[in-house]
Amino acid sequence: MNTAKPIPQHVAIIMDGNGRWAKRQGKERTEGHIAGVETIRRTLRAAAKQGVKYLTFYAFSTENWGRPEAEVNALMELLCKSIICETPALKEQGARVRIIGERSRFSEKVQHYLTQIEQDTAEGERITMVLALNYSSRDELRRAMQSIANKVKEGTLAVESIDEKLISDHLDTAFMPDPDLVIRTSGEQRLSNFLMWQASYAEFYFPEVLWPDFSEEDFAEALEVYTARDRRFGKVK
């Protein structure tokens, strides 16, 4: 009998609670995001150690542009700075970085760094870290539908060939499997426009801990909860 515990191949994380964490400490919200980057680093190491192959972080949603300008600017600066600082360690641990989301809305500088980190880490084979940036599920589906409709219009795609696989192949996430486990920290229990198509059969886990405090033990606990779940994919065992 095979008693090996299943490890989720793909874990997707909605990092929530940076602002509340900062407020509780009497700090600016930006300090919460800075602490959040440290948690990303820690969680990536924990996931790689456990054998997770894809780890997706919801880092900036299409809705996040509506935050105060100073906070958006601080997040952009933090993103560029983190890319510069983290790239050597990512390469060293065999991590490949991929971006999902629509990147033309970012400044040229940010777009440059996004391309750079994807190129610099392209050889990484141990784990793929996916950053969802200017991402939302509805926007991703809109772009996929436009792309499919254009192919039909040009005559390179027959309407009858539009099946679930073809739709999946037109999403930003086409290069990876669907998430097995979605974690959202801070006690909120919403998907907030994140991987809605892809998470159809995912397990969900909602720990109370705020993202900056999410520890390696919390990650291990999430995997244990996942392991204990009975995934039937709509079928009978």
Binding to ligand FPP by residue 132, rule CB under 6 A?
A: no
Q: Which stretch binds ligand FPP (CB under 6 A): 5-13, 57-65, 160-168, 196-204?
A: 57-65
Binding to ligand FPP by residue 205, rule CB under 6 A?
A: no
Between 31 and 180, CB nearer to ligand FPP: 31
Positions 19 through 38 that interact with ligand FPP (CB under 6 A) = 19-20, 33, 36-37
Positions 61 through 90 that interact with ligand FPP (CB under 6 A) = 64, 75, 78-79, 82
Tell me how crowded residue 138 is: count the other CB atoms within 10 A of its CB: 11
Q: Does residue 2 carry a catalytic annotation?
A: no
Residue 79 Cβ vs ligand FPP, minimum distance, rounded to whole Å = 4
Residue 17 Cβ vs ligand FPP, minimum distance, rounded to whole Å = 5
Q: Does residue 16 carry a catalytic annotation?
A: yes
Binding to ligand FPP by residue 100, rule CB under 6 A?
A: no
Those residues with Cβ within 8 angstroms of residue 90's Cβ, 6 or more apart along the chain or in another chain: 44, 97, 117, 121, 124, 129
Binding to ligand FPP by residue 170, rule CB under 6 A?
A: no
Site for ligand FPP (CB under 6 A): which residue of 13, 44, 47, 59?
59
Q: Which stretch binds ligand FPP (CB under 6 A): 11-19, 112-120, 151-159, 171-179?
A: 11-19
Binding to ligand FPP by residue 13, rule CB under 6 A?
A: no
Between 74 and 199, CB nearer to ligand FPP: 74
Whole-number Å distance between alpha carbons of 9 and 204? 14
Query: Would you tell me which residues interact with ligand FPP (CB under 6 A)?
Result: 15-20, 33, 36-37, 59-60, 64, 75, 78-79, 82
Active site residues: 16, 64
